[in-house]
Structure 1
């Protein structure tokens, strides 16, 4: 895609502007299928960069939704989103509106591919090889496989003996090194045919529209935020009663809580009911 498009997009997310960025993209409307197709045709047939820019901008919220699924890796969310935005732009460049799928269905594979590459470069390689022996195995085994392909049983035993690791570790590392051979949903390298797309990119989901899935996910996040705010408004005793009665692995009885707070079991039941009513009221206001 032309650099002219990339320059106008807010892909460089500074810490100070990140909250405002999330707020802005969450308010972007979801494109109708008809208008999305019109924009895609304008870009494909006429090279209309403004149409491509709109396709990207109106789908940035979807990148945020996908990127949140990778927050458990300990990497900065703005960086993950930025990589996902690059994947979205690559998807717009290759999207064919005549195939009959929505852009988000096609783009999700490109978004995840860019995020996966970022995560692997910044996280997974450290986790795969944490000890000196594992790092030595990783790089030596990679060189051996470039010469030999898949190791025979005798070769694997020899590698294990030379590097002082068990045979199971050699096979596990070999399997990880060959993971990219069966990456069904990963896009082709940009250095080759730029119009190539993995077949899975155009597999249509008949059971759900991506826009509906995104809307439902955002609504679920909204309800969870309301629940957290409502629980924060509870007094310490009521919050402890709810946690003990509903959230703890070993749930407390009314009589156990009555003994803890030196009140009757009936009083604990009333406090629990009042707390639940407050939470229900918060959900009613959120609807």
Structure 2
């Protein structure tokens, strides 16, 4: 027979079986051990409190197996919550350790599930966490939620129907490998369209060279215009602030807005004819 307090090793079934062999504590035993730990920092008393509640952690962790995470990891995180509960437990409050510990056990498991269920975090706000851990059990089928059912769930959980629909969509998705699983998938893998090469030195230098040449070409095309045409093009198209209107320029040059429009059209045509040959040589 296994000695109480011995280290449990081996398979998951062996761990669960060993945890169930630790006896449950009576209220008086629990009070005595908790008092010894709180008043005298008796670590052996804390150990007995933890071992007697390992089956509680196993039971709580079993409720989170639907997220596809290892049962052993869920139990491990729950054990951390149990140890925190024993550390903070006050036996004079008249509450049993099991009632106090279950909240901290669930809190630790919740954090583990949220951090590890998906590579991308799905629930960061309080409302999203509530949805994450309740929506699965409240759905009546594996299909998407209809607007009526989404509204019902939103009312029960005190969130908006839009938040319910968004979380349902997130939960229905799947992680996708960044690289293709095989050669046939590489052309459609996210890495092919998510990669950003704009910051590479060669691309940066090339972009700067193109911008410099474009500015030089534009300046050369503007230099071939007469002063009035250049003024109109710059005022209409190259101003950082609000561009001038045809009427504004008409008043400036003492002509009609229509005449300004005609000059503008001809000036742009001349610039295009100047820029096309330059672009062909680049």
The question of a shared fold, defined as TM-score above 0.5 by the shorter chain, is answered with no
Q: Give TM-score scaled by structure 2 length.
A: 0.41
Higher RCO (Cα < 8 Å, 6 or more apart): 1
The alignment's TM-score, normalised by the length of structure 1, stands at 0.40
